[in-house]
Amino acid sequence: MTDINERIRSQLFDLQDLKYRDFNASLIPTVDKKTVIGVRTPQLRKLAKELSKDPDIEFFLRTLPHKYYEEYNLHGLIIESMKDYDKCIAEMNKFLPYIDNWATCDIISPKIFKKHLPELLDEIKVWMGSDHTYTIRFGIEMLMSFYLDDQFKPEYPETVAGIKSQEYYVNMMIAWYFATALAKQYEAVLPFIEEKRLEKWTHNKAIQKSVESYRITPEQKAYLKTLKIK
């Protein structure tokens, strides 16, 4: 390994919390516990902010695959901090195929994306059309994060509803997308639930998440409960 990779790994182990490692490892079943160091997210974010200014950070970003779960999270957070859109996308596309768990996938949401929504949409369509579980999940998450307010168009939930997968972590993100979409664009998205456009499990999970949301009115929750598929 290069010096910076050795230094980063040493810094991560200096931040290790064994009790947190045991707890966190239980939440990410697709990750081998032996690869979890046990570093809390705020500490990872702080370290990523410092490392993003390091002139040698490119060496770390080229080191794929990584050995430890936190190295992947740190990698994602460094990409997230990039202020150059084209570089951010390029690094994201290199990184996505190596993601093997929901937590690493969900921790990344580059702020620079918000300034490039027309171009980002093209990338999202490619990601959602991938055959890699966490690339699809990331694409849906970005559509949910940036296109449910002023940028919303009815064709977006149409695209998400068209994704058919046997993967739990894809279907969970589809459910999360529709629950969030119901909270923000209720009238436009409700027909997808009324017409049972989603797979049974995903349909019911979207309703469950909606009912748990404080952004859905009591009347809407009562109606959504009647739409569950038994």
Each residue of 74-124: pLDDT tens digit? 999 999 999 999 999 999 999 999 999 999 999 999 999 999 999 999 999
Contact 28, 101 (CB under 8 A): yes
If you count DSSP H runs as helices and E runs as strands, how many of each does the chain have, helices first? 14, 0
Q: Check residue 2 and give its pLDDT.
A: 66
Domains detected in the chain: 1-108 (no CATH), 113-230 (1.25.40)
Q: Check residue 172 and give its pLDDT.
A: 98
For the stretch 182-211, pLDDT in tens is: 999 999 999 999 999 999 999 999 999 999
For residue 54, CA distances in Å to 77, 95, 128 come to 14, 19, 33
